[in-house]
């Protein structure tokens, strides 16, 4: 699959749980990674039925360190561009290639709060992470990119910035633009967007897509 950095998700009909004032049913909810711990390290998208791991947990790790690490062994994997784009939509965010003529600061800040910030500074809170596609849009697999194979990676990015001092106001963007590292690079400024099927981990899920099946019955 080839990916255009200017692609636009045009249909926006859902909002983040933090935006309760909208009156809409929340699509994204914070749950525990360790059940009952109160850690709130997972964000569940109740529409796509995907669980998103807190991104800072994988910060400062290379692509291979993540995909050979503990979270993969617990059922997580790198999210594809399409899955991340859908998350943006469900959070009320438009990927317009960082065109601040249309911007969503409230939605971006809420999503960063849910997923965890990898970059924080005065007036900025951002979540950046490796995706399951390379820079050219190809899905990363062990066939096309075996372990220890260097490739041009692709970061997904959610940015909230308070630029009122410079006259630009509050900025909120979800996008794939800007600089991107190689897969063997690591930085505290980015982690990985990891997902797993909530049907596999939630016992009997109320989501109709899970067909009421119990944990362990999914292919």
Q: For residue range 124-165, what is the model confidence (pLDDT) as tens digits?
A: 999 999 999 999 999 999 999 999 999 999 999 999 999 988
Residue 15 within a domain: no
Residue 6 within a domain: no
The reported pLDDT for the residue numbered 70 is 97
Residue 1 within a domain: no
Residue 215 within a domain: no
Domain count, the chain: 1
The reported pLDDT for the residue numbered 63 is 98
The reported pLDDT for the residue numbered 194 is 98
Residue 5 within a domain: no
Residue 39 within a domain: yes
Q: Which residues of the chain have pLDDT under 50?
A: 1-25, 204-206, 212-219
Q: What are phi and psi of 173, to 5 degrees?
A: -140, 140
The reported pLDDT for the residue numbered 200 is 66
Domain housing 187: 20-210
Q: How far apart are CA 101 and CA 92, in angstroms?
A: 16
The reported pLDDT for the residue numbered 24 is 41
Helix, strand, coil content of the chain in percent (nearest 5): 20, 25, 55
The reported pLDDT for the residue numbered 21 is 30
Q: What are phi and psi of 143, to 5 degrees?
A: -80, -50
């Amino acid at each position: 699959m080839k990916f255009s950095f200017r692609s636009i998700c045009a249909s926006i009909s859902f909002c983040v749980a933090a935006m309760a004032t909208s009156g809409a049913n929340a699509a994204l909810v914070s749950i525990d990674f360790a059940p009952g711990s109160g850690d709130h390290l997972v964000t569940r998208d109740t529409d796509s039925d995907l669980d998103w791991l807190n991104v800072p947990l994988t910060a400062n790790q290379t692509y291979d360190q993540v995909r050979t690490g503990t979270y993969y062994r617990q059922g997580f994997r790198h999210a594809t561009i399409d899955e991340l784009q859908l998350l943006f939509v469900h959070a009320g965010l438009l990927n317009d290639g960082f065109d601040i003529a249309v911007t969503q600061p409230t939605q971006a800040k809420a999503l960063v709060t849910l997923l965890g910030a990898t970059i924080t500074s005065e007036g900025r809170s951002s979540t950046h992470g490796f995706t399951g596609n390379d820079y050219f849009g190809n899905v990363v697999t062990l066939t096309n990119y075996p372990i220890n194979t260097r490739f041009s990676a692709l970061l997904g990015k959610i940015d909230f910035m308070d630029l009122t001092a410079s006259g630009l106001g509050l900025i909120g963007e979800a996008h794939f633009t800007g600089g991107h590292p190689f897969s063997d690079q690591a930085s505290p400024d980015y982690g990985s967007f990891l997902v797993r099927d909530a049907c596999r981990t939630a016992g009997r899920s109320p989501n109709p897509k899970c067909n009421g099946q119990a944990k362990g019955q999914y292919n």
